[in-house]
Amino acid sequence: MQVESIKLIETQHITTVIGAALGALLLPLLSFLIIGFIKPRKSDWLSIFFSFVSFLLSVYCFINTWNSEIHHFTWQWLNTGVIKLNAGIKIDNLSSLMLVLVTLITTLVLIYSTEYMKGEKYYNRYFAHLSLFMFSMLGVVLADSLLLIYIFWELVGFSSYLLIGFWFDRDSAAAANKKAFIVNRIGDIAFFVGIMILFTQFRTLDLSALFGTAGKAGLIQQSVVENGMWKFVDVFGQAKTLDSWMLTAAGLCIFAGAVAKSAQFPLHVWLPDAMEGPTSVSSLIHAATMVAAGVYLTARVYPLFNPDALTVIASIGAFTAFMAATIALTQNDLKKVLAYSTISQLGFMIAALGIGAWQAALFHLVTHAFFKCLLFLGAGSVIHQLHHVQHKHHLDFDPQDMRLMGGLRKQMPVTYLVLLVASLSLAGLPLFSGFLSKDLILIGAWSGEKPGSTIVAVLLSVTSALTAFYIFRMIFKVFWAENRLQKTVENIDVSVHESGKSMTIPMVVLAIFSLFAAFSINPLHGTHSWIYEGLIVPLNSFSPKIQYMEFAESWVPIITVVLAVAMILVARFAYYKQKMTFLSKQSFLYKFSYNAWYFDKLYNSVIVKSVVLLANSIRWFDTNIVDGFVNGTASVVQSLSAIVDWIDRNIVDGFVNGIAALAGRLGNLIRGFQTGRVQQYMALGVFGLILIIVLSYIF
């Protein structure tokens, strides 16, 4: 697709497409408000209806903009004279694709939830929160400026906090949502620092102005790095120069936001804990949408990354992918396997962005959203049925523990089939969507020319093989062999049955999207898929576009598929036939993997403890020094005022009272002369006169 053929429409008015996008954005919010304030009886169907309309509007936007037009609607939001901030909606190929993806998956998950969450105490609240989440996620996708993205980014964080802690009466869920929120805050702060770096220098946060659009270079793409100095022009046309490390810093700060949201090392620890939320929530926010926001953001600001930043991104992505895959190998909790799988796959996407395989990363984001959502929904279906068994027979077991499952494929055929499709897609076998996107990433990694790119490629290839192993370990443990739960309880029939239609239909829809046909006509090569061709790599003036090597294009898929098939067979041998064991449970490697590389323990002992220590010492300082100072001052003032009080009472009052008493006594004394006797007055007058005369004679 030629860049030139895309028409850019900048508008100040609400066109039909913009109106549709606004509708798609605001309907979920409306649904949230209606459920929250009016409390209708059919809140589930209300939110499904609203999100389905939102989906239809998104499809309308998609049809009208994909490869034809870019709509950019801006509206001045804040004007303080010097600082002008715009808010608006930008719909290009990436936005409209994400729009459809988010609304479709949310609608499916909402339909699924009507059965999955049935009988919950806060059933209506669940749909309200999910609608709020959908609104914030669509906001991130549609926002046209970094500030607006940041605002919706925080809303995503907040609504995920609500959803993870949906069962807030469980301590573990309450702890998990706090953990998710706090870990995300760390990334958010860095993200905000990055935004501020860009804003102070470029004086704008508009995505088009900064990063260009439709073949037009933005301010960042026009800037150059010469002799370690970063030269650029801000939005008012003023030329500026900065040290080039500021460019790296800005890129890495914004990327740090993505690290937290997309659960990359070192901030990945919140995602496994977030499995405390309902499985349908996990499928939506921890597989398809919220964690994808980090990848989306990294892709959006891609022109900002210079080679240094890209190296960091690729390293973090590859390392995360490998680490999470090794952890997923040993987990016994069904959802934990999927959680680490998600982290691993997000690592794939981030690594792909780091090595410059921009299109492949977003392609993988889309395909992964479908099959990972499906994996979670399938797992939810299994958990839901086991939960029913547990409830029915009053048994005490963990319905998420894979060690108690097995042999479920005949009892839950639909769930088994869709999970198999999703697993094959995740493992990256031909004919499935995951193959197309993941192999593009691997080809890109092996085509890298930078030193060290081989390490990334090796890590990703090993991860790919491990992925096939751990996901089929799950399939064989859950659906094959014999039911291990039955062994623990002899007399009770613990057989499960298939979930209802409102759970299976969304899963089947997602399964269809996990096949190659939804994305590409050629099942073996992804470069001609419509998504890959439609997503135009934004120009990165600091780093050249990746060129796929012939050698990698032909050999990498073959080796990957062979490795994956081999791993699936090994998994079958080990977990279905049970003729092979790998590491004893006492071995260090097993424990290392089972305990997730001891990251939680490390963070607890290093960061949490030191923070608590710091907090305690600050509290000590506060209660002793600050309070002591305040109390000391208070007591000094008290004693001073006691002195003043004494002075006031005794000296000042004494003086005043003394004068009064003197006057009173004098008055009393003189009053005595006022006898009212005329003759006495006369006598006194005469004697006084005589006295005066006598005295005047003497002196």
Partner 1 sequence: MLNGIPLEHFVIVSAVLFSAGLFSVLSRKNAIMILIGIELMINAGILNLVVFGAFDKQKNEGQVFALFAIVLAAAGVAVALAIILNVYRQFKTVEPNQVEEMKY
Instruction: Identify the CA nearest to 290 among candidates 261, 268, 264.
Output: 261
- For partner 1, the binding residues in 397-436 under the rule CB under 8 A are none
Name which of 624 and 675 has its Cβ closer to partner 1. 675
**Sequence-distant (≥ 6) Cβ neighbours of residue 404 within 8 angstroms:** 386, 397, 398, 484, 485, 488
Q: What is the spatial distance between Cα 542 and Cα 305, in angstroms, rounded to a whole number?
A: 7
CA distance 71 to 66: 11
Q: Minimal distance in Å, beta carbon 697 to partner 1?
A: 17
Q: How many CA atoms lie within 13 A of 386 on its CB side?
A: 26
Choose between 584 and 674: whose C-beta lies nearer to partner 1: 674
Distance of closest approach, residue 680 Cβ to partner 1, in angstroms:
9
- Smallest separation (angstroms) from partner 1 to the CB of 642: 44
Residues 6+ apart with CB under 8 A from 409: 416, 479, 480
Residue number with CB closer to partner 1 (200 or 679)? 679
Q: Closest CB to partner 1 among 644 and 686? A: 686
Q: How far is CA 190 from CA 66, 110, 129, in A?
A: 33, 33, 27
> At 305, phi and psi to the nearest 5?
-85, 125
CB of 679 to partner 1, least distance (A): 6
User: Which of the stretches 486-494, 502-510, 525-533, 679-687 binds partner 1 when contact is defined by CB under 8 A?
Assistant: 679-687
697 lies in the binding site for partner 1 (CB under 8 A): no
Select the residue interacting with partner 1 from 182, 589, 636, 682 (CB under 8 A).
Answer: 682
Closest separation between CB of residue 689 and partner 1, Å? Answer: 11
Task: Return the closest-CA partner of residue 563 out of 660, 638, 494, 462.
Answer: 462
Of 427, 285, 295, 282, nearest to 357 by C-alpha is 295
Judged by beta carbon, residue 37 or residue 673, the one nearer partner 1 is 673
Distances in Å between the Cα of 347 and the Cα atoms of 256, 275, 629 are 14, 19, 52
Q: How many residues bind partner 1 (CB under 8 A)?
A: 10
Residue nearer to partner 1 on the CB measure, 521 or 682: 682
Copy the structure tokens of residue 383: 């958990």
Q: Find the shortest distance in angstroms from Cβ 676 to partner 1.
A: 3
SS3 readout for 390-431: HHHHCCCCCCCEHHHCCCCCCCCHHHHHHHHHHHHHHHCCCC
Of 551 and 687, CB closest to partner 1:
687
Question: Binding partner 1 by CB under 8 A: which of 80, 586, 679, 696?
Answer: 679
* Nearest CB to partner 1, comparing residues 626 and 666: 666
Cβ 677 to partner 1 shortest distance, Å: 6
Task: Considering the complex, state which of residue 642 and residue 682 has its C-beta at the smaller distance from partner 1.
Answer: 682
φ, ψ for residue 8, nearest 5 deg: -100, 125
Instruction: Build a one-symbol-per-residue string for 647-676: x at contacts with partner 1 by CB under 8 A, - elsewhere.
Output: ------------------------x--xxx
> Cβ 674 to partner 1, closest distance in Å?
5
Q: Which stretch binds partner 1 (CB under 8 A): 495-503, 568-576, 620-628, 678-686?
A: 678-686
- Residue 681 CB coordination number (10 Å): 13
Per CB under 8 A, contacts with partner 1 among 476-535 are: none
Site for partner 1 in 65-94 (CB under 8 A): none
Per CB under 8 A, the segment of 168-176, 370-378, 590-598, 682-690 that binds partner 1 is 682-690
Cβ distance to partner 1 smaller for residue 2 or 679: 679
In the complex, the smallest distance separating the C-beta of residue 699 from partner 1, rounded to whole angstroms, is 24
How far, CA to CA in Å, does 584 sit from each of 336, 449, 467, 588, 589?
A: 20, 40, 21, 9, 9
Q: In what order do the strands lie in the sheet with 7-11?
A: 7-11, 69-79, 84-91
Q: Does 683 bind partner 1 (CB under 8 A)?
A: yes
Element (H, E) at 328: helix 307-328
Given candidates 612, 659, 660, 686, which one binds partner 1 under the rule CB under 8 A?
686
Q: 491 or 674, CB closer to partner 1?
A: 674
Residue placing its CB nearer to partner 1 in the complex, 237 or 676 = 676
Site for partner 1 in 527-566 (CB under 8 A): none
Which residues are registered as beta bridge partners of 217? Answer: none
For partner 1, the binding residue among 38, 239, 669, 678 (CB under 8 A) is: 678
365-396 exposure pattern, b = at least 16 Cβ within 10 A, e = fewer: bbbbbbbbbbbbbbbbbbbbbbeebbeeeebe
Residue 677 sits in the site that holds partner 1 (CB under 8 A)? yes
Q: How far is the CB of 660 from partner 1 (least distance, A)?
A: 19
263 phi/psi in degrees, rounded to 5 = 55, 55
Closest CA to 567 of 463, 466, 424: 466
Q: Are 468 and 560 in contact (CB under 8 A)?
A: no
User: Contact residues for partner 1 (CB under 8 A)?
Assistant: 671, 674-679, 682-683, 686
